[in-house]
Amino acid sequence: MSPRGMVYIVGAGPGDPELITVKGLRVLREAEVLLYDHLVSEELLKEAPISAERIYVGKRAGHHSFKQEEINALLFEKAREGRRVVRLKGGDPFVFGRVGEEMEFLESKGIPFEVVPGVTAASALASQAKFSLTHRAHSSILTFVTGHRKGDAPLDLPFSALARLGGTVVIYMGLGTLGELQKGLLEEGMEPDTPVLMGRNVTLPTQQFLSTTLGEMVSVREKVGLKPPVLVVIGKVAAGARCMGEGS
């Protein structure tokens, strides 16, 4: 049997290829096998060796080219061949990136691995829109939640706690469930005039920002015809956004 290889799970950052970490770029340039996601830029893929085997395993709303179990099996298969495998994920693998499932699987199979964190989309959105996710005068609490749900199940979110805590709420993968998110927060007492900023394709030339309120965000989405990937920031800090260089 071939010696065990090594798996590196690397955060590619939010889109701009220059936002990958120095370590992440070094690991990518040493890859023998590359499994990459939908949101990884073409420019970044060019940094991998020409000889590297490239496998697209992207997931996007409504379409999964590979199930998670199939991705796990590929990681195991390629590493068992004694190869240096890079699993390149958009954003930061530790923020709704299913890295926990992949680490657990690799550990159960005795495959050595390392995770290289990346810049998450929330930080990138704030940098591009020029506001802070936290602020001593407005927000001392920062909450990340996902609007993704399994199948037709209702969103399993603590709306009462989110509305009561206040601060800044950042919603990943929430465009398709925006109506449920809005309803849940309003019913639990969050004010309809709470500022909201929605960002699409953050850090890319096509980035787009929409400033609105909690009470209007669903109608704004419908009016503009917003499509994923979109990040939603809810809270007073969003009112300070200075969206320079918006895409159309």
Alpha carbon distances (Å) from 152 to 32, 67, 156, 177: 39, 18, 12, 11
Q: Contact, 123 vs 237, CB < 8 A?
A: no
> What DSSP string runs through 32-79?
SEEEE-TTS-HHHHTTS-TTSEEEE--EETTEESS-HHHHHHHHHHHH
Q: Which of 241, 236, 238 is nearest to 137 (CA)?
A: 236
Q: Is the dihedral of CA 138, 157, 233, 193 positive or negative?
A: negative
For residue 179, what are its two tokens?
Answer: 């109506």
Alpha-carbon distance of 93 to 156, in angstroms, equals 21
Q: Contact, 62 vs 227, CB < 8 A?
A: no
156 flagged as catalytic: no
Q: Are strands 6-11 and 113-116 parallel, antiparallel or unpaired?
A: parallel
59 flagged as catalytic: yes
Which of 16, 23, 46, 59 is the catalytic position? 59
Which of 37, 78, 89, 92 is the catalytic position? 37
What positions carry a catalytic annotation? Answer: 37, 59
